[in-house]
Structure 1
Amino acid sequence: MAESKSRLLYILKYLWQNTDAEHYATTADILAFLKGNGISCDRKTIPGDIAKLCDIGIDIEEERSRENRYSLSSHLFTLPELKLLIDAVESSKFITVKKSAELIEKLSQMTSIHQAAELKSNLYVSERVKPLNEQIYYLVDNINTAINRGKQISFRYFHYDQHRKEVPNNDGKRYFFSPYCLVWNEDHYYAIGYSEKHRKLGTFRVDRMKEVEILSADAAAKPADFNLPEFTRRVFDMYDGETKKVMLVCKNDLMNYIVDRFGDEVDTVPGDCGHFRAVAEVSVSQTFFAWVFQFNGDIRITAPEEVVLQYGEMLKNALQT
């Protein structure tokens, strides 16, 4: 009985690794693989074993002939799905070069050796910027565990100086933080939650964290009016400045950019024959001003006056530098 169970597993392993919709294994192939792993059986046993695997939901296609041929016609992921996943891993600035290679190798094992070879032959490795911090995986895991348990975390945070050296924030003291969620934005992970130091909701980039520890203290209660989509739109789309309603005058052919940035419910009205006006709530900051600047005057801030003056001051300072 034990050998029968082992035989079924070895047959499944062989079919998984060596067959797909375009590649079959003969009865002789399977028998040779079993023999190589110390299992001997009669060729008449194989059809019955295949039937047992099919009975538990394994999708095996059988082609009857003088010598039956078998293939695992569907793996967990299709080839196009694996190509998408591998490209996402390879292109991610969040995952280190070493971890990218490890993940790609594991993803390649989710299909047959034939399709894995095709995946690798089509893989283009570009010179994308990759992080050096190998601890990111474990930081994310710790933060996610704290969220699931409803616990606070503490950590150190850093930034880079002009010499590309790590400089600790907060004089090297630990931050105490109640994480509510992890958000992926612009190829970086951010922890969103309540910061004890800042006494408000805040965000921290995970790859800038160090020494994340899960504390025994319960996390601060999430505000009843906390709206994650709205919070992320305000913080990540226009950064964390003072929130104000601004009026923008835009050329008619830029509506796509307004909708992409502020959502399809943004308040817009026609202006003159070549422009429309948009009113949106933004976090006023250099990031917002930089977004406006890229349109070279085709999007203009017209209200409120203090924001117009701030934008003008930023432009003047940029010219002076």
Structure 2
Amino acid sequence: MPKSSGQKLKLLYLRDILLKKTDENHGITAAEIIDSLAEKNIKSERKSLYDDIETLQNYGLDICKTKTNTTKYAVCSRDFEVTELKLLVDAVQSSRFITRKKSIELIEKLEGLVSDYQGKELRRDVYITNRVKGLNEKIYYVVDSLQNAISQNKKISFLYMKWEIGEGSKIVKTARKNGKRYVISPIWLCWDDENYYLVGYDSESQIIKHYRVDKIESVEILDEKREQNKEILEFDGAKYTKKIFSMYGGEELEVTMLVDNSLVGVIADQFGDDIFIVKENENQFRFTAKISISSQFYAWLFGLKGGVKILSPQKVVDGFKAQLDAVSANYFTSE
């Protein structure tokens, strides 16, 4: 007897039905599976259906069978648990560099990894509308080009954009350096302070710099190989992000600070728990770290409300005082 139309696709459709319509809390009967297959114009009998389910189990699909008043089948475990996907959804929502449109598209794809019931559970927690999100719709393609350049060991060129106030007080995007293309040896992509960054070596300046990925446009992978020097070969991403406060880099200096003991956790979070500290007294300790001095570093100090004091070098002490004076000038005036 010839097989009915679509039999070659039957196992694939059966797998899709089980993955989308069932989970550990929702099962489906053999009759319901047969009806769902019929919607795909595929005929199935109970005996052959049982054989197909066993085939999928042998393939590795975790299909559970439960008996109450009726017998039901369900996929009881998957590559991703709902809790894991919720973490990924949260990461997408909080990522400023991913646009609102792309965030929604990506979350919908994550929902496709679980059953329809679990997808609704994920969707209830999605709050995109009022979050501050990036505006560069091409960021996926930018990231792909940057990753390809790194894997191919090639230099790149790109336009680096900035925001300005244009005509009619509108905020407009323009290319930095009057449209001159940046030529960089890409080293690393990292995520910091809700933004995505490219770390690369600038041959012209002969230093490692970082760039906001959402401000990068028109990436071209060049034929020229990336720079190879000691600084690049010994680059340590973890150490780099420790010394750069929210990616606002400045002159790198060794800074010694006096810290209240109660803030040891804050210091460990920022600089790592392997830093060398020296007991100053019963209430305080000293430590030294290489830090890129910037307004973000000073803002971090200010947020600790006097619990951290800069001891040296003096130029960093003076820089912090200048920051405090600049802020005070906005609120206090001499009579």
CA contact (8 A) 1:238 1:284 kept: no
Q: SS of the residue aligned with 2:157?
A: strand
Which ranges in structure 1 are unaligned for 5 or more consecutive residues?
Answer: none
Give distance in 1, aligned partners of 2:154 and 2:10.
47
Q: Does residue 180 of the first structure (1) align with residue 183 of the second (2)?
A: no
Amino acid at match of 1:240: G
Amino acid at match of 2:281: D
Give distance in 2, aligned partners of 1:141 and 1:97.
19
Which ranges in structure 2 are unaligned for 5 or more consecutive residues?
Answer: 331-335
* Percent identity (aligned): 37
Name the counterpart of 1:256.
265
Alignment of 1:43-122 (within 5 A): 43-63=46-66, 68-122=71-125
Name the counterpart of 1:217.
224
Please report how far the alpha carbon of residue 119 of structure 1 lies from its aligned counterpart in structure 2 after TM superposition: 2.1
Give distance in 1, aligned partners of 2:249 and 2:116.
48
Amino acid at match of 2:109: K
CA contact (8 A) 2:245 2:297 kept: no
CA contact (8 A) 1:270 1:276 kept: yes
Give distance in 1, aligned partners of 2:269 and 2:124.
36
Give distance in 2, aligned partners of 1:136 and 1:13.
32
Alignment of 1:85-164 (within 5 A): 85-125=88-128, 127-162=130-165, 164=171
User: Normalization by structure 1: what TM-score?
Assistant: 0.93
Give distance in 2, aligned partners of 1:5 and 1:61.
24
Amino acid at match of 1:215: L
Against the structure 1 CA distance between its residues 82 and 238, is the aligned structure 2 distance closer, same or farther, given a 3 Å change threshold? closer
Against the structure 1 CA distance between its residues 17 and 229, is the aligned structure 2 distance closer, same or farther, given a 3 Å change threshold? same
Please report how far the alpha carbon of residue 168 of structure 1 lies from its aligned counterpart in structure 2 after TM superposition: 2.1
CA contact (8 A) 1:175 1:197 kept: no
Against the structure 1 CA distance between its residues 63 and 313, is the aligned structure 2 distance closer, same or farther, given a 3 Å change threshold? closer
Against the structure 1 CA distance between its residues 3 and 300, is the aligned structure 2 distance closer, same or farther, given a 3 Å change threshold? same
Equivalenced residues, count: 321
User: Normalization by structure 2: what TM-score?
Assistant: 0.89
Name the counterpart of 1:190.
197
RMSD of aligned alpha carbons:
2.1
The counterpart of 2:284, out of the listed 254, 275, 281, is 275
Against the structure 1 CA distance between its residues 252 and 238, is the aligned structure 2 distance closer, same or farther, given a 3 Å change threshold? farther
Please report how far the alpha carbon of residue 18 of structure 1 lies from its aligned counterpart in structure 2 after TM superposition: 0.4
Give distance in 1, aligned partners of 2:321 and 2:129.
39
